[in-house]
Structure 1
Amino acid sequence: MSKFSPGISPELHEYLRAHSTQPDALLRDLAEETARRLPERFEMQIAPEQGTFLTLLTRLLDVRFAVEVGTFTGYSSICIARGLAPGGRLLCCDVSEEFTDVARRFWSKDGLDDRVELRLAPAVETLRALPAEPAIDLSFIDADKTGYVAYWEEIVPRTRQGGVILVDNVFSAGRVLQAEPEDEVVRAIQEFNEHALADSRVELVVLPIADGLTVARKL
């Protein structure tokens, strides 16, 4: 998926990045290693400005329990974990040992081992195993797009009142505007966007950050 918002010129995007808090050396090293080791998958990593937004929002919400669906090499998880309140924890859901091995190394480098828990299993199974009580303060969904509705349906009931759910790639590189897309990923994103909009349990807005970011608040 693209890291750039459709309709924003490259020049304006560079201005946006230049006028946002910059990623530190560890995040830059992680981005560089991901690009070097996984050049065909690098676009799966979130944009730097998304990472900054995740940290800021986590701090603003005083998050004590966060959930991430789709960890990849760990950039977004580091950004969330850094913003957690004292004693807070982040549960990461992924299925790739190869990708998350990189994440584990960088969690350790950043001193986050005591804040981050990784479960290698299908995310729906991990989410269904969580207590039914609404205890999640913040969630970030950025995994296989065909699973978005299922992840949403497990996370929303477990999110506390006032908690926030973030969902990435809701523009699908601008393809959500297609009337009858052949790509199942695009169809899945379209379905999710309509599903979330119709959900009376939340209020939400779609932000033009990178490839589109839904920000939903549990009512």
Structure 2
Amino acid sequence: MFIQDFGLDQVWITDLFSLSDTIAVPSRRRRRKEVITLTPQLYAYLLANVPEPPILRQLRQETSTMPGSQMQVSPDQAQLLAMLVQILGAQRCIELGVYTGYSSLAVALVLPESGRLVACERDGKSLQIAKKYYELAGVSHKMDVRHGLAADALKSLISNGEACSYDFAFVDAEKRMYKEYFELLLQLVRVGGLIVIDNVLWHGKVADPLVNDPKTVSIRNFNRNIMEDKRVSISMVPVGDGMTICRKR
């Protein structure tokens, strides 16, 4: 982005991807409300004040020793997901990209006894850890675990007549498949239901016009398209690596 400060009360920002798009934001000189920078110290404070059930802490600690542990959602992300499920009063949920099960377990713990969570993961090794913790937490009866490609699992649910029967979905799977996942989930989630997409800020790369690798470009395009999609209302939240909450209209 180009940023021009005219010395008054506004900074004009021009989007490099569309030079016709120019917006005004408050200048630092007369800014009325600042956005807090989440320093390591402040983030440590935040995590210290996020309630984390012991079983989730145990899973997080075990996962931290594994290769690829950065794929696990953070405790504050999991808390937000669980809160959204509770606010919705969700009964039927979907998760794409389970890894070792931290986020799916957080959701399962707040689902009612009759609730159902379809958990899709292609990596069998990490899925075994997730299943172990579902058992330890006593939520296995709520879980419908699908080992394989997420898109195939969604198509199976649709062909099984389950369209518009889910309340909530969380997407944390292959980034270049986000568009396809989203279209399939729109068929499965009811009106008023939520689809939450992870990694939409992609380590900050989406805001850097010099970064154009396939995953970054894919997420950047997805973010732009979903902002203009009239089928949903959205809120992009800077939690973790960025999450977009979509409510189906």
1:138-171: CA deviations, max 9, x gaps? 0000011111111001001221111011011100
Indicate which of 51, 55, 61 corresponds to 2:82. 55
Shift of residue 180 of structure 1? Answer: 4.5
Shift of residue 182 of structure 1? Answer: 3.0
- Verify the 8 A CA contact 2:196 2:245 in the aligned structure 1: yes
Among the aligned pairs, what percent are the same residue?
A: 31
Match of 2:104 in 1: 77
Per the alignment, in what secondary structure is the counterpart of residue 218 of structure 2? helix
Match of 1:31 in 2: 60
Q: Is 1:186 paired with 2:216?
A: yes
Match of 2:22 in 1: none
d(CA) in 2 for partners of 1:57, 1:129: 26
Per the alignment, in what secondary structure is the counterpart of residue 134 of structure 1? coil
Q: Is 1:177 paired with 2:207?
A: yes
Indicate which of 83, 87, 90 corresponds to 2:117. 90
Query: Which structure: larger Rg?
Result: 2
Per the alignment, in what secondary structure is the counterpart of residue 20 of structure 1? coil
Match of 1:202 in 2: 232
Indicate which of 113, 127, 132 corresponds to 1:105. 132
Cα pair distance change 1:132/1:113, threshold 3 Å:
closer
1:104-135: CA deviations, max 9, x gaps? 00000000110011111211111011135211
Shift of residue 7 of structure 1? Answer: 4.5
d(CA) in 2 for partners of 1:31, 1:41: 12
Match of 1:142 in 2: 172
- Verify the 8 A CA contact 2:94 2:169 in the aligned structure 1: yes
Cα pair distance change 1:185/1:7, threshold 3 Å:
farther
d(CA) in 2 for partners of 1:117, 1:208: 30
What code does the residue aligned with 2:73 have? Answer: I
Indicate which of 116, 119, 134 corresponds to 2:146. 119
Shift of residue 59 of structure 1? Answer: 1.2
Q: TM-score, normalised by structure 2?
A: 0.81
d(CA) in 2 for partners of 1:51, 1:182: 29
Shift of residue 16 of structure 1? Answer: 2.0
- Verify the 8 A CA contact 2:113 2:142 in the aligned structure 1: no
Question: Relative contact order, CA 8 A, sep 6+: which one is greater?
Answer: 1
Match of 1:64 in 2: 91
d(CA) in 2 for partners of 1:70, 1:154: 15
1:184-216: CA deviations, max 9, x gaps? 111111011112112111000100101101011
d(CA) in 1 for partners of 2:187, 2:130: 28
What code does the residue aligned with 2:68 have? Answer: R
Per the alignment, in what secondary structure is the counterpart of residue 192 of structure 2? strand
Match of 2:192 in 1: 162
d(CA) in 1 for partners of 2:133, 2:48: 25
Indicate which of 62, 73, 97 corresponds to 1:46. 73
- Verify the 8 A CA contact 2:50 2:75 in the aligned structure 1: no
Shift of residue 86 of structure 1? Answer: 3.5
What code does the residue aligned with 2:109 have? Answer: R
Match of 1:18 in 2: 48
d(CA) in 2 for partners of 1:53, 1:148: 21
1:18-42: CA deviations, max 9, x gaps? 2332x12211111111112x1x301
- RMSD over aligned Cα, in angstroms? 1.4
Task: Report the number of matched residues.
Answer: 211
